[in-house]
Amino acid sequence: MNAHGPATPRWTHVALPARDLQASLDWYGRWTPLVCVHDRVDDEGRTAWLGHPVDPEAPSHPFVLVLIEQSAGYDDVATVLTPLAHLGFEMPSREAVDEIAAEARAEGVLHWAAVDLGPPVGYICAIVDPDGNVVEFSHDQGVYAAAQRAVASPGQASSASV
């Protein structure tokens, strides 16, 4: 691998605007497994990258959520991921989805109540971040397993519908 970048094109990030970056960092740190892996301030504003902590099970292709808080004059941040567009996190159990849904309902941030939609969607709920973006938590959706198979056997397309 080249020290300045990948040898082949790689999908590396999704970027979303944030009205209050610190509130968003606190929110994602509480509700998701993501941690801040980069944080910078410049004349344009503040940018943070959130990613998974180092995990021996994770693919070797880094992917981050970039949150951008622009300098003064950019207070009108439009919500990007709504009503169906979302960030998705696959959970290890239905109970983990239920816990998120119950906590989110109590705090007024529940977007979709926990429901089993069957294959290929699985058991899901969704909540909204401080900017109104939808974040989904699922179990038995198969995205993680399909991605792991694809990494293990490059060039093999998955027949799973996501």
pLDDT at 1: 44
Report residue 25 as tokens: 């960092």
Report residue 133 as tokens: 């973006």
- Residue 144 has phi, psi (to 5 degrees) of -60, -50
Asked if residue 100 has pLDDT above 50, the reply is: yes
pLDDT at 98: 98
CATH superfamily of the domain spanning 79-162: 2,3-Dihydroxybiphenyl 1,2-Dioxygenase, domain 1 (3.10.180.10)
Cβ atoms 97, 139 nearer than 8 A: yes
For 8, 21, 123, 157, the CA distances from 12, given in Å and listed in that order, are: 12, 20, 27, 20
* 38-82 pLDDT per residue, tens: 999 998 899 999 998 877 666 566 789 999 998 876 666 778 888
Q: Report, at the CATH architecture level, how domain 1-76 is classified.
A: Roll (3.10)
